């Protein structure tokens, strides 16, 4: 995969000289890769708009046909038309378009494994991020982490009359794609039973995404898997509740505070806060079916910031928040190296009595792209400790003060005002100068903390101004 990413990245520089920026290049690449993989998988594409008709053309004839292809695909009813919504050609030189088509055509993409197109896309964005470019403005949850979450959550719709899986911050569809992949591995012979196929294909996978490009890729990824998801465009937390309820929610809400200085005006949110992640927590609580389960990635600051206690108190009364996983430092390298994050697991219905915390961070070397990449081994012990019950009800053992897995009673959590920044292991790596985070990681962490502090100051200023207005 790395060789292919390198080739595609090298051609990206060629396109830059032709006046095509990184984002537009990656977008055009997704159109072409989609048509190529649809051809390999024998996915039905309207005649005359398929990969073969692009491959056989050159020069201005190719440019004209490519433009016509995108225009006609935009007009196709259903999911295919939705994928190509607003699709426009960006190639200024037909020679470059022909060269890229030839490069893509040389590879057997389907033979490389499931979701290879998404992996190639993410690889390009990683390169953009590592060179200080914004790329498409997105970063991604590592597949290794997603797969671990899916394995313990077991989103299994087989044999159900109705079962909905959702990611309200779907991005490129990683959680939904991996859920489908897991489902196939659990099915006899890797094939779904006939009675389940149509429902799982048409009525099981849901999501929402604000940014058009990753949403398009999510639709493409799932379409190529034979799944027709409902992925709504728009802002999950600032728009009204759709009223749909889900059996499983898996999500990694956007990190950071940028553009989040205004609290959503929603009647179903009990706690008023401008913190994106805490609003997503409130949204997920409401969006779950009773008895439904969720796993959410949250940055460390969400466990202890000003409004965190209020939100988690509601969560623990409405749901069983049974497990917290503290992720290794650098999990989101290279997109956001300095972010420290966690995964919270909960089930809607029973109130929380105990919370189990697994510390996968203390005395674990920070993740780096080359020397210490994230691997399944980072989560193997956690999955064993979590157990087979997706709702966290397997028999578990507290490993004590020297262990990574501990049990805390709700009374202990109440005493902390429901805040979850609980640690017990001494992290020797933080005292080892050879294992300190990279300078850019420390800088990113400092920036995140400063942004949070600035937001707090804005709130104080706004409050003072409001009180002064009342006094006048």
Cβ atoms of 298 and 342 closer than 8 Å:
yes
Q: What token pair was written down for 344?
A: 């919270």
In a domain, 345, yes or no: yes
Phi, psi for 383 (deg, rounded to 5): -60, -40
In angstroms, the Cα distances linking 179 to 182, 200, 215, 252 are 5, 11, 17, 14
DSSP, collapsed to helix, strand or coil, labels residue 262 as coil
Split into its structural domains, the chain has a count of: 2
For residue 119, pLDDT over 80 is answered with no
In a domain, 103, yes or no: yes
One domain, residues 86 and 224: no
In this structure, what DSSP letter does residue 275 have? Answer: -
One domain, residues 125 and 155: no
pTM: 0.84
Q: List, for residues 190-219, the tens digit of each pLDDT value.
A: 889 999 999 999 999 999 999 888 888 889
One domain, residues 196 and 319: yes
Residue for token pair 């796993």: 295
In a domain, 443, yes or no: no
One domain, residues 33 and 177: no
Cβ atoms of 408 and 354 closer than 8 Å:
yes
Q: What token pair was written down for 177?
A: 């794609």
In a domain, 137, yes or no: no
Taking alpha carbons only, the member of 361, 355, 358, 359 closest to residue 407 is 355
One domain, residues 96 and 170: no
- Most confident stretch, 85-89, 104-108, 315-319, 463-467: 315-319
In this structure, what DSSP letter does residue 56 have? Answer: T
Q: Sheet harboring 405-409: ordered strands across?
A: 230-233, 205-209, 165-167, 246-251, 288-299, 341-348, 319-326, 354-359, 405-409
DSSP, collapsed to helix, strand or coil, labels residue 85 as coil
Q: What is the pLDDT of residue 137?
A: 40
Strand 319-326 to 341-348 pairing = antiparallel
Higher-scoring residue by pLDDT: 8, 46: 46
Of the residues 130, 152, 180, the one at which a domain ends: 130
Report the C-alpha gap between 208 and 229 in whole angstroms: 10
In angstroms, the Cα distances linking 216 to 38, 40, 219 are 15, 20, 5
For residue 227, pLDDT over 50 is answered with yes
In a domain, 442, yes or no: no
Q: List, for residues 349-389, the tens digit of each pLDDT value.
A: 999 999 999 999 999 998 887 788 899 999 999 999 999 99
One domain, residues 289 and 387: yes
| Domain residue limits at 64 | 2-130
Q: List, for residues 393-450, the tens digit of each pLDDT value.
A: 999 999 999 999 999 999 999 999 999 999 999 887 664 444 455 555 556 555 655 6
Q: What is the pLDDT of residue 139?
A: 54
Q: What is the pLDDT of residue 430?
A: 60
In a domain, 61, yes or no: yes
Higher-scoring residue by pLDDT: 11, 356: 356
Higher-scoring residue by pLDDT: 468, 414: 414
CATH number at residue 401: 3.40.50.150
One domain, residues 81 and 207: no
Residues 78-97, mean pLDDT to the nearest whole number: 90
One domain, residues 78 and 151: no
SS3 sequence of 186-198: HCHHHCCCHHHHH
In this structure, what DSSP letter does residue 52 have? Answer: H
Residues 146-173, mean pLDDT to the nearest whole number: 95
One domain, residues 62 and 164: no
In a domain, 191, yes or no: yes
SS3 sequence of 319-343: EEEEEEEECCCCCCCCCCCCCCEEE
Cβ atoms of 228 and 202 closer than 8 Å:
yes
Report the C-alpha gap between 458 and 79 in whole angstroms: 43
Radius of gyration of the chain (CA): 23
Residue 365 CA from chain centroid, whole number: 24
Taking alpha carbons only, the member of 423, 339, 287, 313 closest to residue 145 is 339
In angstroms, the Cα distances linking 332 to 315, 337, 374 are 26, 6, 9
DSSP, collapsed to helix, strand or coil, labels residue 115 as coil
In angstroms, the Cα distances linking 172 to 117, 119, 121, 169, 302 are 11, 10, 9, 9, 24
pLDDT-based confidence at 37, cuts 50/70/90?
A: confident
pLDDT-based confidence at 118, cuts 50/70/90?
A: low
CATH number at residue 82: 1.20.1260.30
Instruction: Give the CA angle between residues 325, 328, 334 to the nearest 5°.
Output: 125
Question: From the CB of residue 468, how many other CB atoms can be counted at a distance below 10 Å?
Answer: 9
Going through 99-252 in order, the beta strands assigned E by DSSP cover: 165-167, 205-209, 230-233, 246-251
Cβ atoms of 168 and 283 closer than 8 Å:
yes
- Report the range of poorest mean pLDDT among 19-28, 73-82, 89-98, 129-138: 129-138
In a domain, 318, yes or no: yes
Across the strands, what pairs with 341?
A: 299
Q: List, for residues 94-111, the tens digit of each pLDDT value.
A: 999 999 999 889 887 767
One domain, residues 327 and 392: yes
One domain, residues 214 and 288: yes
Of the residues 130, 151, 174, the one at which a domain ends: 130
One domain, residues 124 and 269: no
Report the C-alpha gap between 395 and 385 in whole angstroms: 9
Strand 288-299 to 341-348 pairing = antiparallel
Residue for token pair 């466990």: 303
């Amino acid at each position: 995969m790395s060789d292919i990413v390198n080739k595609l990245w090298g051609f990206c520089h060629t396109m830059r000289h032709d006046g095509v920026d990184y984002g537009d290049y990656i977008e055009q690449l997704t159109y072409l890769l989609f048509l190529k993989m649809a051809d390999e998988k024998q996915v039905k594409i309207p005649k005359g708009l398929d990969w073969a008709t692009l491959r056989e053309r050159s020069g201005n004839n190719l440019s004209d046909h490519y433009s016509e292809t995108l225009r006609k695909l935009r007009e196709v009813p259903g999911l295919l038309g939705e994928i190509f919504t607003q699709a426009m050609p960006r190639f200024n030189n037909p020679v470059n378009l022909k060269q890229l088509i030839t490069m893509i055509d040389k590879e057997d993409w389907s033979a490389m494994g499931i979701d290879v197109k998404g992996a190639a896309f993410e690889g390009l964005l990683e390169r953009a991020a590592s060179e200080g470019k914004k790329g498409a403005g997105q970063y991604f949850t590592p597949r290794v982490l997603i797969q671990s979450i899916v394995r313990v959550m077991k989103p299994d719709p087989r044999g159900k009359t109705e079962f909905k899986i959702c990611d309200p911050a779907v991005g490129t569809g990683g959680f939904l794609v991996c859920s489908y992949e897991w489902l196939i591995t659990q099915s006899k012979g890797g094939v779904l039973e006939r009675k389940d196929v149509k429902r799982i294909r048409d009525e099981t996978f849901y999501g929402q995404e604000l940014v058009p490009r990753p949403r398009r890729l999510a639709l493409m990824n799932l379409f190529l898997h034979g799944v027709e998801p409902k992925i709504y465009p728009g802002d999950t937390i600032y728009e009204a509740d759709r009223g749909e309820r889900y059996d499983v929610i898996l999500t990694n809400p956007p990190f950071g505070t940028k553009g989040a200085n205004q609290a959503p005006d929603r009647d179903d949110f009990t706690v008023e806060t401008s913190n994106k992640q805490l609003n997503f927590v409130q949204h997920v609580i409401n969006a779950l079916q009773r008895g439904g389960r969720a796993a959410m990635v949250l940055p460390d600051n969400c466990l202890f910031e000003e409004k965190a206690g209020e939100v988690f108190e509601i969560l623990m009364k409405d749901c069983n928040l049974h497990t917290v996983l503290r992720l290794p430092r650098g999990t989101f390298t290279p997109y956001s190296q300095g972010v420290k994050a966690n995964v919270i697991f909960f089930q809607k219905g029973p109130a929380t009595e105990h919370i189990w915390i697994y510390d996968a961070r203390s005395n674990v070397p920070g993740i780096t792209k080359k020397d210490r990449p994230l691997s399944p081994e980072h989560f193997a012990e956690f999955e064993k400790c979590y157990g087979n019950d997706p709702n966290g009800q397997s028999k578990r053992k507290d490993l004590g003060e020297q262990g990574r897995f501990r049990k805390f009673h709700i009374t202990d959590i109440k005493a902390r005002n429901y805040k979850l920044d609980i640690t017990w292991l001494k992290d020797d790596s933080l005292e080892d100068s050879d294992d300190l985070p990279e300078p850019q990681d420390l800088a990113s962490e400092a920036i995140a903390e400063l942004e949070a502090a600035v937001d707090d100051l804005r709130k104080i200023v706004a409050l003072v101004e409001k009180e002064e207005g009342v006094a006048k």
